[in-house]
Structures are given as C-alpha cells and as structure tokens.
Amino acid sequence: MSDTPRGGPSPLRRTPRRIAIVGNAPELGDCGAAIDAADWVVRFNNAAGFGTRAGRRVTHLALVNHGGQMREWLDDPGFLDRPVVRAAETFLFPFPRKPPSPTPMSKDGRDWTDEAEALLRPLGRPITLLPATVHREAAALIHTPGSPPPPPSTGFLVSLHLLRRYGGMVEIDVHGFGFEGWEGHDWARERRWFEAMAAGGLLRLHPLANSLAA
C-alpha cells in the first residue's frame, strides 16, 4: 500500500480549508479551541494533551509503524480503547515498508506495519501509508553531507506530506512542536525547515507557551 487508504474512503481525499498539526510538546499551552476549530486536526503517537489543553478533536492520528514504540502498543491490550485512538477518523503510518531482510531485525528497528494494520482493522477506519517519496525527500532535506542520514521524525514526515499536497491552497497551523526528544532525529535541521516554510507563508508555526513567557 502506498498513499491508498484501506478500510473505506479517507478524509485525505476531501480538501480542507484549514489544517491543525498538533505536536506533543508539554509547553503547548491552552490552544484547544483554536486547534478544534480546524477542519482537520492531525495528531501524533500518544497525543499528549488530547482531551484537555490540546483540544478534543482528531481527524488523523499518525502512528510510528517502525520500532519499539509500535511494539509497545501492540503489546498493550488497552491500546484500542485509548480516547485518541477511538476518536481518530483515519490513521497515518509515516514510514515506508522495509524490504525483506535476510537477517532478523531487532524489535527496535523492525517494521510492524502488517501487525499494526491487523491491530487497527477492527475499528473500521482508513489506514494510509505515506508514499515512500515523502520519506526520501525528508531524508534529503535534513541530511548533512558526509554523515549518515538521520531518520526524520513522524511530525516532520507528516507535515512535509501535507505541505506538498496542500501548501498554498489551505491554511496550515503547526502547534506544539518543541523540536526535541529522541536524540536520533536532527531536530535543529527540522526546526530550520519549519521556520523556512513559515517565513515563506506556507504555514503558521505557533510558539510554545514558555517562549511567549520568556
């Protein structure tokens, strides 16, 4: 599967007027009303703040489909009962399927796409795997020549995909991106890309609450 959804018609096929992309930074602030007013509300993974300060709507939930985080969700018998999972209208998997490997992969690097699809299928919601071209472009954007390319973050991949599809046609608001977390991501380069897109008028990058108070 590439960009084709499974499980029914995907909201990605309807053009919104405004998209809110919501990160998981704890310093998000009280942006819930502004976030919920968007046509699409895109959230990520455990969706910190969902149901409280970060709003109560989610149209698209992006779930990392490679590595240890998905393994934890697969092992959690209550995962499908989480409020954000129940509320999501469609699921996005940001990483392309990995080709078959002659040697077993560690659980932290394994592709869990098939298992994740099987887990979510009873909910009857569309599941969309982002095109591999998005991952290749994202990797090129943050690659430093002479060093191994860092894996793009889920937020970067999904934002790049939405911007390439809808940038300049719809309003895109980015909330709750702190550009820190797992040390394997190149947060500085990702931040510079978002700032460049904001400077070009293609999205609005909302500052975190602690930035406003500084």
The domain 11-213 having CATH identifier 3.90.1480.20: the answer here is yes
pLDDT band at 1 (very low <50, low <70, confident <90, very high): very low
- Residue 5, pLDDT score: 56
Does the structure show a pLDDT above 70 at 176?
yes
Contact between 31 and 206 under an 8 Å Cβ cutoff? The reply is yes
- Amino acid at site 179: F
Question: Could you give the dihedral angle defined by the CA atoms of residues 207, 128, 40 and 9, in that order, rounded to the nearest 10 degrees?
Answer: 180
Quote the mean pLDDT of the chain. 88
* pLDDT, mean of residues 30-58: 95
- What pLDDT, in 10s, does the model give residues 128-144? 999 999 999 999 999 88
Contact between 30 and 53 under an 8 Å Cβ cutoff? The reply is yes
Q: Where are the domains of the chain?
A: 11-213
* pLDDT, mean of residues 174-179: 91
Does the structure show a pLDDT above 50 at 169?
yes
Strand order, beta sheet including 127-129: 127-129, 90-93, 60-62, 40-44, 18-22, 171-175, 204-205
- What pLDDT, in 10s, does the model give residues 74-117? 999 999 999 999 999 999 999 999 987 655 555 567 999 999 99
Considering the chain, what percentage of its residues have pLDDT values greater than 70? 88
Does the structure show a pLDDT above 80 at 63?
yes
